[in-house]
Structure 1
């Protein structure tokens, strides 16, 4: 069996960092991913996919990601449920990420505001997802899905 997801999209809001009662960091954010087709009116549509990260990755995402940043997310789909205050069963589908790559530097994104001095020190010249300051040029035909 296989449960693996790779997404490339932009954050719709700043990550929300919290800690469990035992002190484990958890971050939640939503990634907007363009659909590979347009609507009948000719507009491009997007899916808004919730993402959860844990531990050190959660803290890194909270420190360096901001609304509008382009990211690649790798992880698994998780469906969980809980009972709300009214006694109704609520189902949540989300991506539990084990790898998040920053696909552009903070200085290239106008939405980073006053955080332009922050720059990830995790870049690596041999890494194709590293922050080299240039947008990625990928066509839908190049994607394997």
Structure 2
């Protein structure tokens, strides 16, 4: 089974394309924290993953996502294979999204959560309390 779930922030502007068959696709990177410990510069180390969303999901992302938005991506891990300038095969991993959960409140004031309880649990990222691994009792 090929399944992946990532939680992170949109790290760059969405790039939109359309295939010759008329399929719509959106590409964007997300930044996912590697750990809850800061590095020597006081920053959290992150990994960047390429995400692509197709057709209806691409349309939803186009109208909903911006740089810095927190999302959960549920999908599969895929590999792009392409030749480099010397003709040598290159491989690049990407996440093909099957579903995206939008965790940042909408900018137009409309919440996409289906229950009022979910809205009450929304905490802005800059107000979250980070816990060091040393503070966890297990």
Matches within 5 A, 1:38-117: 38=37, 41=40, 43-106=43-106, 116-117=107-108
Cα separation, 1, equivalents of 2:129 and 2:56: 30
Tell me the distance in 1 between the aligned counterparts of 2:49 and 2:8: 9
**Partner Cα separation in structure 1 for residue 56 and residue 120 of structure 2:** 23
**Match of 1:112?**
none
Query: 1:87-135: CA deviations, max 9, x gaps?
Result: 23221101011000100113xxxxxxxxx33746x5311785xx66822
Residues 51, 84 of structure 1: alpha-carbon distance in 2 compared, 3 angstrom cutoff: same
How many residue pairs match? The answer is: 128
Aligned CA distance change for structure 1 residues 91 and 62 (closer, same or farther; 3 Å): same
TM-score by length of 2: 0.78
> RMSD over aligned Cα, in angstroms?
2.8
SS in 2 for 1:36: coil
Q: Which sections of structure 2, spanning at least 5 residues, go unmatched?
A: 134-138
Q: Cα distance, 1:64 vs. partner?
A: 0.8
Structure 1 contact 16–62 (Cα < 8 Å) conserved = no
Quote the residue 2:24 is aligned against: 25
Separation in 2, partners of 1:55, 1:132: 31
Kindly state the Cα deviation for residue 58 of structure 1 after the two structures are TM-superposed. 0.8
Q: Residue 122 of structure 2 aligns with which residue?
A: 134
Kindly report structure 1 stretches of 4+ aligned residues shifted beyond 4 Å: 136-141
**Any unmatched runs of 5+ in structure 1?**
107-115
| CA radius of gyration, larger in | 2
